[in-house]
Amino acid sequence: MAVPRLWRHIPTRYNLIGTECQTCGGLYFPPRTTCPTCRRDGRIIERKFKGTGEVVTYTTIYSASAAFHRQTPYVLAIVKLDEGPLLTGQIVCDPDEAKIGMKVRPVFRKLGEDGPSGIIYYGTKFAPLTEASQ
């Protein structure tokens, strides 16, 4: 990924900064610059999502591209954030721990890197929500 594009994505990736339409209350993650419901009447502001949510569905990846091969097997899930939006993210748990309906919380992890000499991408993944982490 080009460095400028990576840099623009930092707030979104690190802190789940999305957007909210003040006109209709619509919440968007990833952020949208216009509201699909209100269109020109939409008033868009920044909105931070807590990052807690629930696993809607998941799959275990056993075979991945070169960049992610090292991490296999890993769990990729669709997470419904407590505020409503759905997003795809990795769950940092063993495949046998993953369950549909499992509550998750956000964790800060390496998302990837441009080889050994390139930029390292950091951002949000999810972990099972346990008592100690609440």
Partner 1 sequence: MIGITSYGAYIPRYRIKVEEIARVWGDDPEHIKKGLLIYEKSVPDLDEDTATIAVEAARSAIYRRSIDPKEIGAIYVGSESHPYAVKPTATIVAEAIRATPDLTAADFEFACKAGTAAIQTCMGEVAMGAIKYGMAIGADISQSAPGDALEYTAAAGGAAYIIGKKNLITEIEDTFSFTTDTPDFWRREGESYPMHGGRFTGEPAYFKHIISATKGIMKKVGTKPSDYDYVVFHQPNGKFPLRVAKTLGFSEEQIGLGLVVPMMGNTYSGSSLIGLAAILDQAKPGSMILMTSFGSGAGSDAFSMTVTDGIEEVRDKAPTIAELLKNPRYLDYALYAKHKGKIAV
Residue ranges binding partner 1 (CB under 8 A): 10-11, 14-15, 69-71, 92, 94, 107-111, 120, 122, 125, 130, 132-133
Q: Judge contact between 83 and 50, C-beta under 8 A.
A: yes
**Of Zn ion, partner 1, none, which one sits near residue 24, judging by CB under 5 to 8 A according to partner kind?**
Zn ion
**For Zn ion, the closer CB: 20 or 53:** 20
- Give the closest residue to 120 by CA, choosing from 106, 131, 109, 130: 109
> Minimum CB separation from partner 1 for residue 81, in Å?
18
**For partner 1, the closer CB: 56 or 120:** 120
Q: What is the DSSP string of 10-76?
A: HHHHHH-EEEEETTT--EESS--SSBTTTBTT--EEEEE----EEEEEEEEESS--HHHHTT-SEEE
> Minimum CB separation from Zn ion for residue 18, in Å?
13
**For partner 1, the closer CB: 45 or 132:** 132
**Of Zn ion, partner 1, none, which one sits near residue 129, judging by CB under 5 to 8 A according to partner kind?**
none
